[in-house]
Structure 1
């Protein structure tokens, strides 16, 4: 399994493999020689190095398949207070990743006997994030759970919720003291702790971004020209990009062409990727940070390209329609599977503890890379390697 140290510093492992393929610089220039014996020795050494390099790249693939170490959900929890009303703000029900997390949180809240409603944040069109939070306050909800929404987008509504005595829980998003707002004021009542290894969503998402780069490096054997879609204007997009950049920095045989997308250009992903492929005809690898962006046109751009046979696209979370694209070779080839539904259940566990005056407990989240060679279920979505629902129900006495 990945350790946090390995995830952050894979350079040694990668360069052992890529040096043999001419993709990493050793910092040593061998002196020339006219001796046929020395030349034979050098050739034998190169052959040995190539064999060792391939073994290390294969080892990297094995590590990516195993993924980041999964923990387990908390084994015990305080009693959930009865009769609570919970307002769940989805980042946007039109985006399947947002829909999956919001519906999981609703399912979990109803499991403990609470009344739960989802408000569609509509990818913040017209300031919908703030409107949804304020609607929850006006509806006298006991708590508001936000999904993949940064504190920076809803600072004043969060203050209004606090003044009204409404607890606020954040999952898959960033409080104002993390991400671009590091050092700012923490405004959520509490945030889900993804895992012991990743105590913040920022660290979790950076690790996922890094794994995406490592999959490309390993599958390309250390030589890749990559179009990277960068989701600008969001902390999650920034964290995924930072992780990807850390990962690809270990590969001097890799070239990256970043192209930007924002919430306002979400619907233009196909044109953005098509234009990038035309501008960079040497690019044969495409990295897209979220599966919703793949579905918004990334996969269509790749599947419809005249160069489709040579293109490889890795996307986000391993959502059902995206895995169907992988199964059918329809413009997506891989994903970094992460259990968004587990994240939603962890938000409710966090809220139970907040109601009891306790601190959140790490949820045990991890991730694994998925492609047609590994971790691809026959049908449906990516499934975490444990029954987290049963574990939470047991902890909650349900």
Structure 2
């Protein structure tokens, strides 16, 4: 299976950077035998749905550097993933003894650099970026670098770790390609290898393009599946655009459309009411998201309302990790490069690891471990 996944990662991913709002499915890759494919896919999906593993992150590091002032620039606090991470930052910052000021771009492209400028004017000791694209934000990040202000981010690049070509010392994230692989494989398993798939993405973000590319590559490799379309839609405009797009897709594909995949749960917030109004039964459509594990997604999964899974980020944990990475930079130490394991939330495991609180919060004692590292009560 590892060789199969590596092949997909290295050679079968096509770009959606130039896609318009409706893109026909590209030519299929060589399909994999149905039974063998399903067996391999099921092994990956079963591993991703197990309870959270014991903590595999750092256990040592510098003690807290209290009294720091942190600016957080959020791409859009209406996005449940970003909001969850910011909540985690606030929780960890209180333990650390830091003050935090939040600047929200509201998903508006013309406000991103303005919010960074406002954050710079507040003279913070450190900057945390929640969402966005580090390379797009580079003009606004350079003044922080010129002041030697350390910068860490969440979901600001395609891979966890330092972001080359930018002053972002650490991008905190699960591996987005692994997230996308698990999402698409789960859809194939749940459909019995016969999914008619539409993928929703936002090509203005590289991480979203990469997720969509990987999901499309996986679907094309399933001999019994059909990639109907990749729909490019800005996340920040999903509320206005998704209802109409859903109606158009239903009219175009009818019963052929049996599976919706998305790079974020928020698309389904506005698709589900349309499906319900159309009288579609819950079992006629499966929905899975390659991030981030919003409250509304957990509710849909728990009630069996179309959505059957989300590859949820441990949002609160990521907030704590951002604070820890920043503290290491304050101490003159290197970042950890730690990436949390991928976890698929379904109806079968939703009651565990924070699911009763409508979030994925791994039961691995990460808060106590970070407190011990920081030497904070």
Q: TM (normalized to structure 2)?
A: 0.82
Give the structure 2 partner of residue 318 of structure 1: 293
Aligned ranges for residues 322-337 of structure 1 at < 5 Å? 322-337=297-312
Gaps of 5+ in 1: 12-22, 27-48, 195-200
Structure 2 partner of 1:342:
317
Is the partner of 1:87 in helix, strand or coil? strand
Q: 1:97 aligns with which of 81, 85, 99?
A: 81
- 3-state SS of paired residue (2:328): helix
CA distance in 1 between partners of 2:340 and 2:90 (Å): 19
Distance 1:384 1:68, change over 3 A: closer
Q: Shift of the alpha carbon at 1:306? A: 2.9
The question of 1:188 aligning with 2:167 is answered yes
In the alignment, the residues of structure 2 paired with residue 342 and residue 115 of structure 1 have an alpha-carbon distance, to the nearest angstrom, of 19
1:147 is displaced (CA, Å) by: 0.9
What's the counterpart of residue 65 of structure 1? Answer: 49
Which runs of structure 2 are paired with 1:8-27 in the superposition (5 Å)?
8=6, 24=31
Is contact 2:286-2:307 (8 Å) kept?
Answer: yes
Question: Where do 1:166-185 residues align within 5 Å?
Answer: 166-174=149-157
Aligned pair partner of 1:382 in 360, 364, 374: 360
The equivalent of 2:19 in structure 1 is: none
Cα distance 1:78–1:294, how it changes in 2: closer, same or farther (>3 A)?
same
Equivalent residue number for residue 129 of structure 2? 146
Match of 2:116 among 133, 143, 155: 133
Pick which of 310-319 and 346-355 moved more: 310-319
| Aligned 8 A contact 1:71 1:364 in 2 | no
The aligned residue for residue 397 of structure 1 is 375
1:359 deviates by: 1.3
Q: Label 1:391 to 1:273 Cα distance change in 2 as closer, same or farther (>3 A).
A: farther
Structure 1 residues 119-174: Cα deviation after superposition (integer angstroms, max 9, x where no partner)? 11211x15222122111211111111001121233221111112233222112112
SS at match of 1:105: helix
| 1:263/1:326 CA distance change after superposition, 3 Å | closer
Is 1:215 aligned to 2:199, yes or no?
no
- 2-structure distance, mates of 1:4, 1:104: 33
How far off is 1:61 after superposition? 3.9
CA contact (8 A) 2:55 2:365 kept: no
Rounded Cα–Cα distance in structure 2 between residues aligned with 1:158 and 1:57: 41
Match in the other structure for 1:258: 230
Work out which structure has the larger RCO, using CA pairs closer than 8 Å and 6 or more positions apart in sequence.
2
| Deviation of the 1:238 alpha carbon | 1.1
What is the CA RMSD across the aligned residues, in angstroms? 2.8
CA contact (8 A) 2:203 2:234 kept: yes
CA distance in 2, matches of 1:133, 1:57: 42
Distance 1:261 1:382, change over 3 A: same
> Aligned pair in 2 of structure 1 residues 161, 232: CA closer, same or farther (>3 Å)?
same
Q: 201, 204, 216: which is aligned to 1:245?
A: 216
Q: Match for residue 38 of structure 1?
A: none
Kindly indicate whether the alpha-carbon contact (under 8 Å) linking 1:150 and 1:234 is maintained by their aligned counterparts in 2.
yes
Are the structure 2 counterparts of residues 60 and 149 from structure 1 closer, same or farther at C-alpha, using a change threshold of 3 Å?
closer
Taking the aligned partners of 1:4 and 1:345, their CA distance within structure 2 comes to: 31
- Structure 1 contact 129–153 (Cα < 8 Å) conserved: no
Q: Is the 8 A contact 1:148 1:171 kept in 2?
A: yes
Change (3 A) 1:238 1:67: farther
Q: CA deviation at 1:382?
A: 2.0
Tell me by how many angstroms 1:307 deviates. 2.8
Per the alignment, residue 44 of structure 1 pairs with none
Whether 1:161 and 2:139 are equivalent positions in the alignment is no
- 2:38–2:193 contact (8 Å) kept in structure 1: no
**Residue 365 of structure 1 corresponds to which residue in structure 2?**
340
Kindly name which structure, 1 or 2, has the bigger radius of gyration based on alpha carbons.
1
Under a length normalisation based on structure 1, what TM-score does the superposition of the two structures give?
A: 0.78
Distance 2:195 2:223 in 1: 10
More deviation in 265-274 or 56-65? 56-65
Tell me which of 287, 309, 312 is aligned to 2:261. Answer: 287
Query: Could you say what secondary structure the match of 1:228 adopts?
Result: strand
How far did 1:58 drift? 4.6
